[in-house]
Structure 1
Amino acid sequence: MRTAVKDVMTRRVTTVREHTPFREIAEVLVANGISATPVVDGDDRVVGVVSEGDLMRKEEFREQYSGESYRPSWRSRLRWWKAGQHAEGARKAAGNTAAGLMDAPAVTVSPFASISRAARLMDEHGVKRLVVVDDQGRAAGIVSRRDLLKMYLRDDDEIRRRVVEGIPSHARWDDRYGIIVEVRDGIVTLSGQADRRSEAMAAVRTAGRVEGVVDVRRELTWREDDLVTLPVTWDRP
């Protein structure tokens, strides 16, 4: 069974409204020990996310907006230009409510999505967390990078069981005959002798797809190479 986002997400979600003022957002983040919170509309649907980084824009631009000669650091300006966000910093610095501070639309994921899907979304959008929403677009939880790492804390025996259960029913995977499965610190070692090379390769692929597997070491042999590649011949003109 594949692990879904709902199995690892944090279910307790603290939200703010679009009209929530700056100071109240800061209080929510500090009081709850969180770095970001979803922003919801009047129907409780998620419309954006506001983070502590968004709030810090105001402090970074404070002197500039006080009429003084402050300019953001060269490194900050370069980062914003690369991300296409050179105007975003100024916008957020001027914001006084969640609506003016948040990133919108929020990057969301279904509670039934796989954790692999969640990881891809985080990578694609360059975010550290996703808002988990139900089919009505309302917040059901938060899933972070740290939550996704939980799958690597599985017991070695549990990982081995999942590897063995995932193999084709006709293959032999046991410690007496066929392919031997051993797991230590999340690293799967496949040894022994399979009937066919295709079976051995299928075993390696299966083990590699199991959540929580750090690496797969192949120490397999086979009796028959049924994946022999025929030589390519070229017709001469």
Structure 2
Amino acid sequence: MSSDDAPQGRDMTLPEWLSSRVVADFANDGILTCPAEAPLEEVAWMMVENRVHALVVADGADEGQVISDADLIAAADSGHFDELAARDVAGTEAVGVGRDDTLMRATQLLAEHGVTHLVVRDGEGRPTGILSTLDVARAISRR
């Protein structure tokens, strides 16, 4: 069932509703990346400038980690903020979810991996966007 054909949210339980909606309808399109060697001050600036809470750390063709604002706060607390680069503090492996996967699957991945952001991938595995816990909460609040 496509999201357009699904019954209205209040007619279903939350798990039913999450299972009837696809990630592509709620994810942010486009991937914001930072170089692995980027100084943390630059990473912070990129997050603020783009109004996001996380970036994908790009190390060549590999998009293997996500750096979040929480990672920046932890680095600031370490006393070594100015000496560190994105690759040094990126806290979580980039967990992927398919564009056509359900929001239920996305919530399961978020919970299983203890992450706040998923890299959304197309059918060929290419990254196409980001889905955050805030995106899921926003979707739930509007069902």
Higher relative contact order (CA 8 A, sep 6+): 2
Q: Which runs of 5+ in 1 are unaligned?
A: 66-92, 155-237
Is the 1:46–1:138 Cα contact (8 Å) retained in structure 2? no
Runs of 4+ residues over 3 Å off in structure 1? 134-138
2:142 maps to 1:153: yes
Distance 1:3 1:120, change over 3 A: same
Partner SS for 1:113: coil
Map 1:60-79; keep pairs closer than 5 Å. Answer: 60-62=77-79
Cα RMSD after superposing both structures: 2.2
Following TM superposition, by how much is the alpha carbon of 1:136 offset from its aligned partner in structure 2, in angstroms? 5.2
Aligned length: 124
2:120 maps to 1:103: no
Partner SS for 1:120: helix
Greater shift, 143-152 or 111-120, is seen at: 143-152
Number of the residue aligned with 1:27? 45
CA distance in 1, matches of 2:97, 2:132: 11
Number of the residue aligned with 1:84? none
CA distance in 2, matches of 1:94, 1:23: 7
Partner SS for 2:32: coil
Please point out which of 35, 38, 47 is paired with 2:64: 47
Is the 2:56–2:63 Cα contact (8 Å) retained in structure 1? yes
TM-score, normalising length: structure 2: 0.74
2:119 maps to 1:126: no
Q: CA deviation digits over 1:34-54, x for unaligned, max 9?
A: 1111112222x4210011111
CA distance in 1, matches of 2:47, 2:113: 22
CA distance in 2, matches of 1:138, 1:111: 10
CA distance in 1, matches of 2:35, 2:120: 17
Following TM superposition, by how much is the alpha carbon of 1:127 offset from its aligned partner in structure 2, in angstroms? 2.0
Q: Whose helix fraction is larger, Structure 1's or Structure 2's?
A: 2
Number of the residue aligned with 1:73? none
Larger radius of gyration: 1
2:75 maps to 1:58: yes
